[in-house]
Amino acid sequence: MQFTSEQRLDDGVLEREFTLGEIPGILWTPASATAPAPLILLGHPGGLHKMYPRLAGRARHSAAEGFAAATIELPGSGERLRLVGAEQARADLRRALQAGEPVGDEIIDALILPLVEKAVPEWQTTLDALLSLPEIGGPVGYSGGVISIGVRLAVVEPRISAAVLFAGSFVPRVMFEEARQVTIPLHVLLQWDDEGNDRQAALDLFDAFGTQVKTLHANLGGHTGVPQFAGDAAAQFLTRHLK
């Protein structure tokens, strides 16, 4: 992990950009940390530059609660190499949505599964590097989309203790089986009228999660309309489970 830039934000939060091999990322740490900080991994749909304002907002909110927060670029997004087949799958998805057709399993699988396969080990490598820093301890939470990445991480990565999952992307059928294996506390956010999501599939996925501690917060509105109070409630969930 190589830090490539460093700045203090106006609230004292230290923001550092880094690279881990070919993967760019950003780490935010609280202004004044007296002990190694618990960590929140910030998930997003890809495109670090475009997502920066919202990610930094979430990170500063977390830092105010004493958390470090980190994110990495998704495979195939931003400056990174495209994923084979992803452009085709995205075009197929657009065509299906514009035609008002149901989005077929083969489109969803082609869009999401290669992303999950590649992103999850990258998150794990990033976690190795982050936890080797003296200013970061644990526990660790995951917060955000892509929901299938969060589900896979919750299953395979024992260092993640709780997760906020944003149900804002299509879910491959195979993830419903994996969902049964999730045993950590979950807080699921659903935008009721999300155009890039299948509401019934999101409800079925929530039902499938094997954990004994799960909460669904659904709010009226589209994909980007998560209300401030819903973000606050998700932050409260992480504070309850990670501190």
Summarize as ranges the residues that interact with a copy of itself (CB under 8 A). 192, 203, 206-207, 211-220, 227, 229-230, 233, 236-237, 240
Minimum CB–partner distance for residue 214 and a copy of itself (Å): 5
Query: Measured between alpha carbons, how far is 47 from 167 in angstroms, rounded to an integer?
Result: 18
Q: How far is CA 75 from the centre of its chain?
A: 13
Nearest CB to a copy of itself, comparing residues 87 and 207:
207
Minimum CB–partner distance for residue 216 and a copy of itself (Å): 4
Inter-residue contact 34 to 40 (CB < 8 Å): no
Nearest CB to a copy of itself, comparing residues 114 and 221:
221
Nearest CB to a copy of itself, comparing residues 58 and 217:
217
| CB-based contacts of 15, cutoff 8 Å, min separation 6 | 6, 7, 8, 9, 26, 27, 28, 56, 59
Nearest CB to a copy of itself, comparing residues 19 and 219:
219
Nearest CB to a copy of itself, comparing residues 97 and 218:
218
SS3 146: coil
Query: Measured between alpha carbons, how far is 135 from 38 in angstroms, rounded to an integer?
Result: 9
Nearest CB to a copy of itself, comparing residues 129 and 208:
208
For the record, the structure tokens of 163 come out as: 């997760």
Nearest CB to a copy of itself, comparing residues 85 and 227:
227
Inter-residue contact 40 to 150 (CB < 8 Å): no
The DSSP annotation for 137-187 comes to: EEEEEEEES-HHHHHHHHHH-TTEEEEEEEE-S---THHHHHHHT--S-EE
| Host H or E run for residue 18 | strand 14-20
Q: Are strands 37-42 and 136-144 parallel, antiparallel or unpaired?
A: parallel
Minimum CB–partner distance for residue 12 and a copy of itself (Å): 27
- φ and ψ of 88, to 5 deg: -60, -45
